[in-house]
Amino acid sequence: MATLPQASTTPAPAPMPAPMPAPVSTGPQATRLRAQRQGEVLTVRLLLSHAMDNGQQRDPDGRLRPAWFIQQVCVTLQGEVVLQAHWGPSVARDPFWQFQLRGVRAGESLAIHWVDNLGQRRSDVFVVP
């Protein structure tokens, strides 16, 4: 009944109008980056935020979740493309990606852009340490 105490941290139950299968994560979240310099080589470790649904997983109520995954990632340094990736649905949820770049100077701006199969995009800019 109404006597049940409600935890103060629980947000008010929002009305769920969406009849569509809702994506697991909500909207694009910031890409996280760690960069480490070894000589003239910069090792970049990225953690992107995405459900990466391959279209074969089911909701708790048994409905197939449609495929929803990052298709292309573009890495730019000072606005110039240095690396591009095409990904398929086999990439893991919240993708971890590591790569290395040569001759990157401290203070340059490194940008990570991605677009998924539904056309959703995100860009994150970092300053090279």
Partner 1 sequence: MPLRPIRRRDGLRHSATVAALLAASGLLPLWPSALRAQAAAPGSPAAPPAWPEHWPGPWPQAAFQASDLARMLATLGVAQPQPSPAVRLSAPELAEDGRAVLLGVATELPGVQRLALLVAHNPTPLAALFELGPRAVAQQALRVKLARSTPVYAVALLADGQALFAHQDVQVSLGGCG
Summarize as ranges the residues that interact with partner 1 (CB under 8 A): 26-31, 41, 52, 54, 56-57, 71-72, 74, 76-77, 79, 81-93, 95-104, 107, 109, 111, 113, 117, 121-127
Contact at 8 Å (CB) between 73 and 84? yes
The token duo for 119 is 């056309």
Residue number with CB closer to partner 1 (5 or 29): 29
Select 5 or 39, whichever has its Cβ closest to partner 1.
39
CA-based nearest residue to 43, from 123, 94, 104: 104
Q: How many residues does the chain have?
A: 129
Closest distance to partner 1 from the beta carbon of 59 (Å): 13
Q: Which is nearer to partner 1, 5 or 63 (CB)?
A: 63
| 19 vs 39, beta carbon nearer partner 1 | 39
Closest contact distance (angstroms) between CB of 53 and partner 1 is 10
- b/e sequence 81-96, b meaning 16+ C-beta within 10 Å: eeeeeebeeebeeebe
